[in-house]
Amino acid sequence: MTIAINPMLLRAYTDEAASCGDQLVADMIVRRAHDCGLAGATVLRGRSGYGSGSEIHAHHLFGISDNPPLVIEIVDEEDKLRGFVRQLADLRDIGLITLERVEVVSRSSARPVPDGDAK
């Protein structure tokens, strides 16, 4: 994984049951990010939450009516992430998508992040 010089964090909010055809939206986003060569993606599962539709998405005991919120996080360069957002236009069950600047202070390789390499 290469770290972007000016990294940004993209967050896409959806829910576990969101699908497009026979595929889950979260899985499609991760697959598309990988196919685009983005630095990495992680899907986070929440306990509960709601968005503009005011429907509360939650994890329920024993999985009955289970539909918790999901957040997909992707870190890469701003231009790559903005281009990637356009590739998600056909997925209807994505809620909010946000971008914010981040500072990378560590990465998985043994080499430290040099000063000025990630701001």
Taking only the tens place, the pLDDT of each residue in 12-59 is: 999 998 999 999 999 999 999 999 999 999 999 988 888 777 777 776
Q: How far apart are the two ends of the chain, measured CA to CA in Å? A: 17
What value does the mean pLDDT take over residues 73-88? 96
Predicted model pTM:
0.80
More confident residue, 58 or 95: 95
- Nearest one of 21, 37, 16 to 87, comparing CA atoms: 37
Average pLDDT score over the chain: 85
The mean pLDDT of 67-94, rounded to a whole number, is 93
The more confidently predicted of residues 118 and 71 is 71
The H-assigned helical ranges of 1-119 are 25-35, 78-86
Does the 7-101 domain belong in CATH 3.30.70.120? yes
d(Cα 94, Cα 9) in Å, to the nearest integer?
17
pLDDT surpasses 60 at 113:
no
Statement: residue 90 has pLDDT above 50: yes
